[in-house]
């Protein structure tokens, strides 16, 4: 996109000015008299045109700010014109940005004159003609700096969904259970998984972090107003390949208003936290971690102090611990019962502290845990999620200030939202289902990787296997619960088979 951007810089500056003139001329044909820079349009829609951008342009993002609110992408068009619809009394400001085949936007045009939709025009009064709009720096689409809504990719204050089919990505702009619009994104980086959806630049709009599980390459996409404005490869040259570093989660660990990236290595038994500046790493912090069979169960601000923590789960004995990067040691949270896993976290009550979410995969029982300073949990029982499929993350999809929960049934493509309420959550079905071959991608990092599985499968016969012998024969005590050893992001019969085959002295390949 750099070449496209460089070609468009000079061209879009003037077309941005012409966009303002196009609005002015279009409006003057129906509304000659006006005094302020805002213009009145009789009706509830207006068609605007602008000078085409040069270069290999695939289309244009149409960016609209309504009634002084945040600007966000509302549509994409192929030709340099768009019809903007509104309601009586509404005021809109429009911008445009060309994009190439990669979906990355070029420079955003200066804003148009404000357009006010009215039922009729006032009587004309003489007034001097306003000067033509001058090029000016465009306001950043999206919300305020910092403090944005998690998974809000277009800056409208509501979480959105990312749908992937092969390498094709679509942004579903959500309003509760309604898919308000569908916007194209650039194709996903080849062979990469989405491992983060934090607001890494602190602009109030969530971004996308991709990891190639084979090469370890990390690609960051910065978004603004629903469009990809910048991409870059994060420098991980300081992390040796042989140490098998993987992304474990994202949260604002230092409290500066921008999310950071947490990586961990089971070989080193260490954690590294990256604070980002744009698509570069501004600061690296190294902490102690674990060499054991530990997974990162959640990364969130679970104590409400404005800084994130991460929660470890021991896959062998099912114990949990919380680690505050600013603390000297981890805090033990206790042991999970048979069948239970921590699946994530969310601010379900709109408070500063996120609640841990736990689920029993066998029964579908679901709980929200509020942790106090000592790590003691107050448990809130939620409805059964057994028939809803897989957990797909949390976010505020209806804009009420409380995080909601997302479930997806991969067989039917049905997406269910649990909208947070004072009592039990309200279960609603999203009005659009996933098509065959598509899936929701939410950036929840699966920290059980294939290299970990391979090391486990090649353990020498010894005490490790002796410890697993009691797990054979159907004894399902907590220490016998399976880890995600085939790295498919779920606990399945294959994982259980790997445990049993390995414990009985056989090779793991028999379970694949």
Backbone angles phi, psi at 457, to 5 degrees: -65, -20
d(CA 192, CA 209): 10
pLDDT greater than 90 at residue 131: no
Between 338 and 87, name the one with better pLDDT. Answer: 87
Long-range contacts for 384-388 (Cβ within 8 Å, ≥24 apart)?
A: 385/359, 388/364, 388/416
317-335 pLDDT per residue, tens:
789 999 999 998 999 999 9
pLDDT score for 481 = 56
CA atoms within 13 A on the CB side of 136: 10
The per-residue pLDDT of the chain, averaged, comes to 80
Q: pLDDT grade, residue 479 (50/70/90)?
A: low
Tokens, residue 442 = 């939410």
Please, are residues 103 and 185 in contact by the beta-carbon 8 Å criterion? Answer: yes
**Mean pLDDT calculated for residue range 283-290:** 93
Do 281 and 274 touch, CB atoms closer than 8 A? yes
Are 73 and 229 spatial neighbours (Cβ–Cβ below 8 Å)?
Answer: no
Q: What's the average model confidence in pLDDT over 259-287?
A: 94
Q: Model confidence over 376-396: pLDDT tens digits?
A: 889 999 999 999 999 999 999
Tokens standing for 467?
Answer: 């410890």
Please report the DSSP string for 82-148 in residue order. Answer: EEEE--TT-EEEEEEEEE-TT-BB-PPPPPPPPEEEESSPPPP---PPPPPPPP-PPPPSSSSSS-P
Residue-level pLDDT at 508: 62
Residue 399: its H or E element: none
CB under 8 Å to 493, separation ≥6 — which residues?
A: none
- Is there a contact between 53 and 12 (Cβ–Cβ < 8 Å)? yes
> Mind listing the pLDDT tens digit for each residue in 162-189?
999 999 999 999 999 999 989 889 899 9
| pLDDT tier, 106 (very low <50, low <70, confident <90, very high otherwise) | confident
Segment 28-54 shows an average pLDDT of 66
pLDDT of amino acid 339: 84
CATH of the domain spanning 161-440: 2.120.10.30
**Residue 154, H or E segment:** none
The average pLDDT across 428-449 equals 82
| Domain layout of the chain by residue ranges | 2-118, 161-440, 450-511
Beta bridge partners of 366: 359, 382
Least confident of 34-43, 412-421, 433-442: 34-43
Q: Are 246 and 447 in contact (CB under 8 A)?
A: yes
The predicted pLDDT at position 36 comes to 39
CB of 296 closer than 8 Å to CB of 311? yes
State the architecture of 2-118 in CATH terms: Sandwich (2.60)
Tell me which of 322 and 50 has the higher pLDDT: 322
DSSP state of 104: B
Burial 289-323 (b: 16+ CB within 10 A, else e): bbeebbbbbbbbbbbeeebbbbbbbbbbebbbbbb
Whole-angstrom Cα distance, residue 82 to residue 79? 8
Distance CA 328, CA 287 (A): 9
């Amino acid at each position: 996109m750099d070449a496209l951007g460089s070609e468009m810089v000079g061209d879009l500056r003037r077309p941005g000015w012409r966009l303002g003139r196009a609005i002015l001329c279009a409006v003057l044909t129906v509304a000659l008299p006006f005094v302020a820079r805002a213009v009145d349009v009789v009706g509830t829609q207006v068609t605007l045109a602008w000078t085409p951008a040069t270069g290999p342009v695939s289309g244009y993002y149409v960016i609209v700010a309504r009634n002084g609110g945040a600007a966000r992408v509302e549509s994409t068009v192929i030709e340099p014109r768009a019809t903007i619809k509104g309601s009586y009394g509404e005021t809109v400001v429009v911008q445009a940005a060309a994009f190439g085949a990669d979906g990355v936007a070029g420079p955003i045009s200066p804003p148009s004159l404000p357009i006010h939709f009215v039922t009729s025009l006032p009587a004309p009064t003489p007034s001097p003609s306003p000067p033509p709009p001058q090029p000016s720096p465009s306001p950043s689409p999206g919300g305020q700096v910092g403090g944005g809504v998690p998974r809000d990719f277009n800056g409208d204050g509501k979480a959105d969904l990312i749908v992937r089919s092969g390498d094709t990505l679509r942004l579903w702009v959500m309003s509760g259970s309604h898919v308000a619009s569908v916007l194209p994104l650039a194709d996903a980086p080849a062979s990469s998984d989405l491992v983060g959806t934090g607001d890494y630049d602190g602009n109030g709009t969530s971004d996308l972090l991709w990891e190639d599980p084979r090469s370890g390459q990390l690609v960051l996409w910065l978004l603004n107003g629903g469009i990809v404005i910048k991409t870059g490869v994060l420098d991980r040259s300081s992390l040796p390949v042989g140490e098998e570093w993987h992304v474990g989660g994202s949260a604002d660990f230092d409290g500066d208003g921008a999310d950071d990236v947490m990586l961990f290595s089971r070989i080193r038994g260490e954690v590294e936290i990256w604070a980002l500046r744009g698509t570069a790493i501004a600061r690296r912090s190294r902490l102690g971690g674990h060499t054991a069979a530990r997974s990162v169960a959640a990364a969130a601000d679970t104590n409400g102090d404005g800084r994130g923590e991460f929660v470890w789960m021991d896959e062998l004995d099912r114990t949990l611990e919380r680690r505050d990067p600013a603390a000297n040691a981890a805090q033990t949270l206790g042991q999970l019962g048979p069948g239970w896993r921590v699946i994530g976290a969310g601010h379900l009550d709109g408070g500063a502290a996120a609640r841990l979410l736990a689920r029993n995969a066998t029964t579908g029982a679901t709980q929200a845990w509020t942790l106090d300073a000592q790590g003691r949990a107050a448990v809130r029982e939620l409805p059964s999620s057994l028939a809803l499929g897989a957990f797909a993350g949390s976010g505020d999809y209806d804009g009420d200030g409380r995080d909601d929960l997302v479930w997806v049934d991969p067989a039917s493509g049905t997406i269910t939202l649990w909208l947070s309420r004072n009592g039990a959550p309200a279960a609603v079905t999203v009005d659009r289902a996933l098509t065959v071959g598509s899936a929701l991608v939410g950036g929840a990092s699966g920290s059980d990787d294939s290299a970990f599985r391979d090391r486990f499968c090649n353990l020498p016969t010894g005490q490790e296997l002796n410890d697993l012998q009691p797990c054979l024969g159907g004894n399902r005590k907590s220490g016998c619960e399976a880890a995600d050893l085939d790295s498919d992001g779920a606990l399945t019969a294959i994982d259980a088979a790997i445990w049993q085959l390995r414990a009985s002295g056989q090779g793991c390949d028999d379970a694949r």
